[in-house]
């Protein structure tokens, strides 16, 4: 359905429609999230990242619908609204270094790479991680580094981080991720065990090492699986 990027980008109109749908959802959920609209940086990123090149060929025609899509191995590419919201809640900028737990298709990493200086991304499933790293390289994202590993452990060699976003639901917030967050840094993470209601949470690390936690809104994510 969509070809390579060029002067006549056939996906541009579809992305614009998706951005409008995300804008509408921001307005609808503003009482829960505290955000009435996307920040200019995140809005620009959502209008630029080529989601159709980060999904399987069979899903490309649905790439710009505002809902999750399967990417294989029981995993999904997150709903564009949630991707935008997570980036906005982090509050990062072009000086920020971000950790993403759960590379998946690479879509969230690409959006973060548009608004932050550097993105480190961890994926437990090797085939997904390798494929995402290849696609992100092809798209020119030189500021993203992908690693195969256990997301619960974070990436201590690259810590501390200005922001951490987790793209799968954990039954609790991993302490290792809190430890790797800078004072004043933020973490966006879906929390909820099997059979429980999941909530997207925003954590802000205090100077004393503790965290302030805010429940943002109910969500549904695949589980964050620990490494063996």
Single out the residue of 212, 153, 215 nearest to residue 183, CA to CA: 212
pLDDT of residue 39: 97
Report the C-alpha gap between 222 and 63 in whole angstroms. 19
Report the C-alpha gap between 165 and 144 in whole angstroms. 14
- The pTM (predicted TM-score) of the whole model is 0.93
Asked if pLDDT for residue 2 goes beyond 60, the answer is no
pLDDT, mean of residues 148-155:
96
Hey, which residues are catalytic here? 78
More confident residue, 98 or 221: 98
pLDDT-derived band at 57 (thresholds 50, 70, 90) equals confident
pLDDT-derived band at 6 (thresholds 50, 70, 90) equals very low
pLDDT of residue 75: 76
Give per-residue pLDDT as tens, 169-198: 999 999 999 999 999 999 999 999 888 899
Maximum Cα interatomic distance, the chain, rounded to a whole number of Å: 52
- The β-bridge partners of 188 are 165, 202
pLDDT of residue 8: 60
Query: What is the distance in angstroms between the CA of the first residue and the CA of the last residue of the chain?
Result: 40
Within 10 A of 131 (CB to CB), how many other CB atoms are there? 21
Mean pLDDT for the chain overall = 92
């Amino acid at each position: 359905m969509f070809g390579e990027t060029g002067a006549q980008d056939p996906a541009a109109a579809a992305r614009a429609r998706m951005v409008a749908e995300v804008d509408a959802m921001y307005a609808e959920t503003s009482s829960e999230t505290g955000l009435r609209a996307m920040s200019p940086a995140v809005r620009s990123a959502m209008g630029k990242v080529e989601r159709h090149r980060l999904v399987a060929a069979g899903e490309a025609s649905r790439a710009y619908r505002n809902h999750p899509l399967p990417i294989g191995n029981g995993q999904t590419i997150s709903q564009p609204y949630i991707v935008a919201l997570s980036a906005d809640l982090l509050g990062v900028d072009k000086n920020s270094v971000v950790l993403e737990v759960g590379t998946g298709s690479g879509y969230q990493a690409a959006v973060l790479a548009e608004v932050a200086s550097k993105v480190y991304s961890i994926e437990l499933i090797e085939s997904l991680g390798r494929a995402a790293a290849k696609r992100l390289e092809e798209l020119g994202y030189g500021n993203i580094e992908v690693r195969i590993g256990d997301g619960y452990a974070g990436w201590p060699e690259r810590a501390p981080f200005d922001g951490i976003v987790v793209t799968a639901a954990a039954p609790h917030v991993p302490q290792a991720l809190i430890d790797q967050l800078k004072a004043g840094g933020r973490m966006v993470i879906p929390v909820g065990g099997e059979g429980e209601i999941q909530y997207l949470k925003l954590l802000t690390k205090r100077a004393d090492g503790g965290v302030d936690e805010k429940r943002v809104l109910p969500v549904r994510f695949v589980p964050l699986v620990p490494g063996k």
